[in-house]
A and B are shown apart, each in its own frame.
Chain A
Amino acid sequence: MPDFSLSRRSLLASSAALMASTALPRFAWAQTPKAGGRLVVAADSEPRNLNPAIVASNGVFFVSSKVIETLAEADYTAKDQLAPRLATSWEGAADGRSVTFKLREGVTWHDGKPFTAADVAFSALEVWKPLQNLGRTVFKDLEAVETPDDHTAVFKFSKPTPFQLVRNALPALSSVVPKHLYEGTRIEENPANNAPVGTGPFKFAEYKAGQYYRLEKNPAYWEKDQPYLDEIIYQVLPDRTSAANALEAGEIQLAAFSAVPLADLERISKVPGLTVVTKGYEGLTYQLVVEINHRRKELANLKVRQAIAHAIDKNFVVKTVFLGYAHAATGPVPANDPQFYTPDVETYPFDVAKANALLDAAGYKKGADGTRFSLRLLPAPYFNETKQFGDYLRQALAAVGIDAQLVNNDSAAHIKAVYTDHAFDLAVGPPVFRGDPAISTTILVQSGIPDGVPFSNQGGYKNAEIDAIIEKASEELDAEKRTELYREFQKKVAADLPLINVAEWSFTSVASDKVRNIANNPRWAVSNWADTWLAE
Chain B
Amino acid sequence: MRGRFLQTPEAMAGTAILVLLATMALAAPLIFPGDPLRIAGPALVPPFQDWTLPLGTDRLGRDVLAELFHGARTSLVVGLAAAAASLAVGAVIGTLAGFAGGLADEALMRLTDAFQTVPGFLLALAFVSIVGPSLSVVVMAIALSAWTGPARIARAEVLSIRERDFVAGARVVGMHPLEIAFREVLPNALPPVLALSSIIVAQAILIEAALSFLGLGDPNRVTWGGMVAEGRTVLRTAPFLSIVPGIALVVTVLGVYLAGEGAVESAAVKKGLS
Q: What residues make up the interface of A, taking CB atoms closer than 8 Å to B?
A: 240-241, 244, 261, 263-264, 266-267, 320-321, 381, 384, 388, 390-392, 394-395, 398, 405-410
Q: B60, A407: Cβ atoms under 8 Å?
A: no
Considering the complex, which residues of chain B in the window 230-251 have a beta carbon less than 8 Å from any beta carbon of chain A? Answer: 232-238
Q: Which of A240, A244, A321 contacts B60 (CB 8 A)?
A: A321
Q: Give the distance in Å from the alpha carbon of A240 to the alpha carbon of B232 in the complex.
A: 10
**Interface residue? B132 (CB, 8 A):** yes
Contact (A395, B236) CB under 8 Å given A320-B59, A407-B219:
no
| B233: A residues at CB distance < 8 A | 240, 261, 263, 384
Q: Could you say which of B61, B133, B220, B232 contacts A320, with CB atoms under 8 Å apart?
A: B61
In Å, the complex CA distance between A263 and B43 comes to 12
Q: Can you report 8 A-B residue pairs in the complex whose CB atoms are below 8 A from each other?
A: A240-B233, A241-B235, A261-B233, A266-B237, A321-B59, A388-B59, A395-B38, A408-B216
User: Complex Cα distance A267/B216, Å?
Assistant: 30
Which residues of B sit under 8 angstroms from A266, Cβ to Cβ?
237
Taking A241-B232, A267-B236, A408-B216 as known contacts, 12 extra A-B pairs with beta carbons closer than 8 A to each other, sorted by chain A number, are A240-B233, A241-B236, A261-B233, A263-B59, A264-B234, A320-B43, A321-B60, A391-B37, A391-B219, A392-B39, A395-B35, A407-B132
Residues of B contacting A: mostly: loop
Chain A CB within 8 A of B129 CB? yes
Instruction: Count chain B residues whose beta carbon lies closer than 8 angstroms to a beta carbon of A.
Output: 22
CB distance from A103 to the nearest CB of B (A): 47
1/0 contact string of B197-218 vs chain A (CB within 8 Å): 0000000000000000001100
Pairwise interchain contact A264-B237, C-beta atoms closer than 8 A? yes
Q: Using Cβ atoms and an 8 Å threshold, which residues of chain A touch B129? A: 410
A263 interface neighbour in B61, B132, B133, B237, Cβ under 8 Å: B237
B216 contact set on A, CB distance < 8 A: 408
Q: Which residues of B contact A261 (CB under 8 A)?
A: 233-234
Q: Mark B43-78, 1 if CB is under 8 A from A, else 0.
A: 100000000000000011100000000000000000
* Cβ–Cβ < 8 Å partners of A395 in chain B: 35, 37-39, 60
Which residue of chain B lies nearest to A261 when distances are taken between CB atoms in the complex? B233
B60 and A267 contact, CB distance less than 8 A: no
CA distance A244 to B236 in the complex (A): 10
Measured in the bound complex, the distance between the Cα atoms of B133 and A408 in whole Å is 7
- List the 8 shortest-distance A-B pairs measured between CB atoms, nearest first: A406-B219, A263-B234, A408-B219, A320-B43, A395-B38, A406-B220, A395-B39, A261-B233
- Residue in B closest to A417 when the chains form the complex, CB atoms: B132
Known: A320-B43, A392-B60, A410-B129. A267 touches B235 (CB 8 A): no
Which one of B43, B132, B219, B236 contacts A264 once the chains associate, using CB atoms below 8 Å? Answer: B236
List chain A residues, Cβ under 8 A from B235. Answer: 241
Q: Residue on A with the closest CB to B219?
A: A406
Chain A residues with Cβ below 8 Å from B132 are 407, 409
* Distance from B137 Cβ to chain A, minimum over Cβ atoms (Å): 12
Q: Which residues of A contact B236 (CB under 8 A)?
A: 241, 244, 263-264, 267
Question: In whole angstroms, how far apart are the Cα atoms of A264 and B239 in the complex?
Answer: 12
A405-B60 contact given A241-B236, A395-B39, A398-B35, CB 8 Å threshold:
no
- Residue ID in chain A nearest B43 by CB atoms: A320
Q: In the complex the two chains form, what is the Cα distance from A384 to B232 in whole Å?
A: 11
Which residue on A lies nearest to B38, using beta carbons?
A395
User: What is the CB-to-nearest-CB distance from B243 to chain A, in angstroms, rounded to a whole number?
Assistant: 16
Contact A394 B215 (CB under 8 A): no
Known A-B contacts A263-B234, A381-B215, A406-B220; the reply to A320 vs B37 at CB < 8 A is no
Most buried by A among B59, B232, B237: B59
Q: How far is the CB of A398 from chain B (nearest CB, A)?
A: 6
- Residues of chain B within 8 A (CB-CB) of A240 are 233
Contact partners of A392 in chain B: CB under 8 A = 39, 60
Q: How far is the CA of A244 from the CA of B237 in the complex (A)?
A: 13
Complex contact A405–B59 (CB within 8 A) = no
Give the complex CA separation of A406 and B220 in angstroms: 6
A263 to B236, CA, bound (A): 9
Query: Per-residue 0/1 for B15-35: is the Cβ within 8 Å of any A Cβ (1 yes, 0 no)?
Result: 000000000000000000001
Q: How far does the Cβ of A428 sit from chain B's closest Cβ, in whole Å? A: 12
